[in-house]
Structure 1
Amino acid sequence: MFSLSRHALRHTRNFALTAAAKWRHPNPLGVVAAAATVMPIARCFADSDEGKTNPSKANNMENKSEKVTVNKEELRKRLTPLQYQVTQEAGTERPYTGCYNKHYEKGVYQCIVCHQDLFSSDTKYDSGCGWPAFNDVLDKGKVTLHRDASIPVVISKTLGMVRTEVRCSKCSAHMGHVFDDGPPPKHHRFCINSASIDFVRKAAPAPTPTSSKK
């Protein structure tokens, strides 16, 4: 009994010394592994080539917009049921029904929730998909991209189970999805719900004052 207790005491002391040594000299690989486990799924939009050649530069493209907290009850009063379902519940409006599907006035498209500018009419094009389509965003920090595996294979074998969801970087409202079948050179097609955006018409240029002759 005495020898067994002495062995247990020695084992406990060795364990304490080992733990203290690890505390004084932490394993950097362990730190990296721990950090990798908490890496968020969301990422800011960045060109794939640039991210591959210069990862540090891609990481610097983090959105600088100040995040806002959404009041769900207030939104229910301000938005239509469809706008709320799309932006807050990741719903999708029926194709060819959105007010901006065939809309080509000059201006900017904002998030319907927080009014952040997201897309320009200069990048809007008719993709024939039934939803407003843009080949780029106003700025790479305006949206975040998320893995979306909500489509079962039995419903769509062509699209597959995984899509890339687009959310507003400021309020996290659901906008739609982005695909890689858009026009060159970037081949992006941001397929956006009309119910998630609002249009602000581009202001007409101020008339140039004419000098009166004496």
Structure 2
Amino acid sequence: MIDHTRDLASVRDATERLLSAVAKLDNASVAEPSRLPGWTRGHILAHLARNADALVNVWESRPMYVSGEARDTDIERDAPRPLDVQLADVRDTAARFLDTADAPADWSRTVELRNGVTDSASRVPFRRWAEIELHHVDLGIGYELEDMPEEFTEREIDFLADRFAGNASVPPTRLTDGTRAWHTGRRAEQPEVTVTGTAADLVGWLAGRREGAALAVTGGALPGLPPL
């Protein structure tokens, strides 16, 4: 069962970890390339701040973003800012998100996210947690997939396996870390591809952060996954 209160506490913790790590950088390193193609570390920090603003919009029943173009323009505008401005923006917008989430609300209601995606309001804190954890890794400053909390990694595998479940372009696939198992891909009565690896490697592959070279595959080739 989703526990939004617990997830909001995890968002707070993850945000503090990220801010503490980023505070050790300087202006030059913020302008350096991140692990995301075409984005500097400044792009990632700008995205995290604007994402917090966007989720406040979701809480308050406004469109998450005015448009995809406006979202991209805002990130490009804010990416070149110096470290102190980036830190203040991420900190302030994160606090605004958490303050808004602390207000009395119907957590069972359905909210609309980007591109017409809908979800339960109770799942929004986990979505924010995922943004922080994965983009902390994307910064390339020493925080790796293996450093993410075990609870988060397992739940993110659940989330992404469910996202690709029923997708006609993904063969029926069983994922396992040796103790736990997940299923994803299209539903069909045919042998499954089994993908085995550590939880970190599995979530890295599902989230598009690793190519899957460390994964063992039986029953076929490693499936290609649609972009997130």
Q: Where on the TM-score scale, by shorter chain, does this alignment land: which range?
A: under 0.3
The structure carrying a bigger strand percent of its residues is 1
The structure carrying a bigger helix percent of its residues is 2
Q: Which has the higher contact order (CA 8 A, sep 6+)?
A: 1
Structure-2-length-normalised TM-score: 0.23
